[in-house]
Amino acid sequence: MSTAAQKVTQPTHLKESAPLWFEEIQTHICETLEEIEIEFMHPTHLPGQFAFKSWERHDPTEPDNKGGGGKMGIMEGGAVFEKAGVNVSTVYGEFAKEFCHEIPGADKDPNFWASGISLVIHPSNPFVPAVHMNTRHIVTSKSWFGGGADLTPTFPIDEDTKDFHQSLRTACDAYNSDAYAKYKLWCDEYFYLPHRNEMRGVGGIFFDYVNSGDMSADFEFIKLVGKAFIDVYAKIVRRRMRQEWTIDDKYKQLVKRGRYAEFNLLYDRGTRFGLMTNGNVDAILMSLPPVAAWP
């Protein structure tokens, strides 16, 4: 355990149980996606599989130069999932000075500890929506949970959008009756490309700085979000994955993915956080689409 990790005052159980949960849901999500690949039974295409790669983060502010690390899971060239990246990481150290004022509790003490799961899925079929999900636990002199899930179809279909929102609403309602309305709005505001004056997708939920005073309850909410996400996304994928598509549909998907790349590189805080905390570049930029187009 690093000195930074020791410096933060935090109920120990969350700093142990949260990373365990993120690994557990990573395994569950990857297995679910692999099951769908097998179920799809493409005539000429072997079912896609995840490859896992562990990485270590180095932090020169730590005496042993260690700053945690993570485990990337990536499936490339699957029959259903053209690219799916599912990462967990637990990192700690000191924020760079110029970054401290942006992070609650870091203005006086730059030490941080952060653990989370982050995934982006770019399906092959243009009628299967792309998706993102992330949940995280961050500890500075304060501590909180954050996360979200949002759906990005190339061709929005009401049935899918409704199911996705309903599943996340159920997770939110079990936690707090105000949560869904607030987190849905936050999502719409966050996943927005001002230069295009367009939404990234059809929304979902987004939340940050969640600390209700009962962090065990907050943690239960985090678990519900992860489970609700994979249940509904698997359902949507199975519903759409055999739909026929044309080259024109595929090109529209590539253009939509170009917008996805724009958002992630121009605005996404997770990308910015990762690059500014010297995270693993491959893991951070795994969210970028396998192929994208700009007309």
Give the footprint of a second copy on this chain (CB under 8 A): 76, 83, 195-196, 254, 258, 261-262, 265-266, 275, 281, 284-285, 288-295
Q: Which is nearer to a second copy, 47 or 258 (CB)?
A: 258
Q: Work out how close the CB of 48 gets to a second copy at its nearest, in angstroms, rounded to a whole number.
A: 15
* Distance, CA of 9 to CA of 12 (rounded, Å): 8
245 is written with which tokens?
A: 């598509």
Q: Work out how close the CB of 248 gets to a second copy at its nearest, in angstroms, rounded to a whole number.
A: 15
Q: Work out how close the CB of 287 gets to a second copy at its nearest, in angstroms, rounded to a whole number.
A: 9
* Distance, CA of 181 to CA of 203 (rounded, Å): 12
Q: Which is nearer to a second copy, 232 or 283 (CB)?
A: 283
49: left (phi over 0), alpha (psi -120 to 50) or beta: beta
Q: Which of 200, 124, 203, 123 is nearest to 164 (CA)?
A: 203
Q: Which is nearer to a second copy, 100 or 292 (CB)?
A: 292
Beta strands in 124-237 (DSSP E): 130-139, 143-152, 192-193, 198-199, 203-210
Write down the residue that tokens 């849901």 correspond to.
25
Q: Work out how close the CB of 266 gets to a second copy at its nearest, in angstroms, rounded to a whole number.
A: 5
Burial of 287 (0-12, 13-18, 19+ CB in 10 A): buried
* Distance, CA of 243 to CA of 100 (rounded, Å): 48
Q: Work out how close the CB of 21 gets to a second copy at its nearest, in angstroms, rounded to a whole number.
A: 29
Q: Work out how close the CB of 258 gets to a second copy at its nearest, in angstroms, rounded to a whole number.
A: 7
Q: Which is nearer to a second copy, 209 or 294 (CB)?
A: 294
Q: Which is nearer to a second copy, 48 or 289 (CB)?
A: 289
Active-site residue, from 132, 137, 165, 195 = 132
147 is written with which tokens?
A: 């996360």
Would you call 280 helix, strand, or coil by DSSP? coil
* Distance, CA of 43 to CA of 199 (rounded, Å): 36
Catalytic residue check, 132: yes
Q: Which of 288, 295, 233 is nearest to 122 (CA)?
A: 288
Active site residues: 132
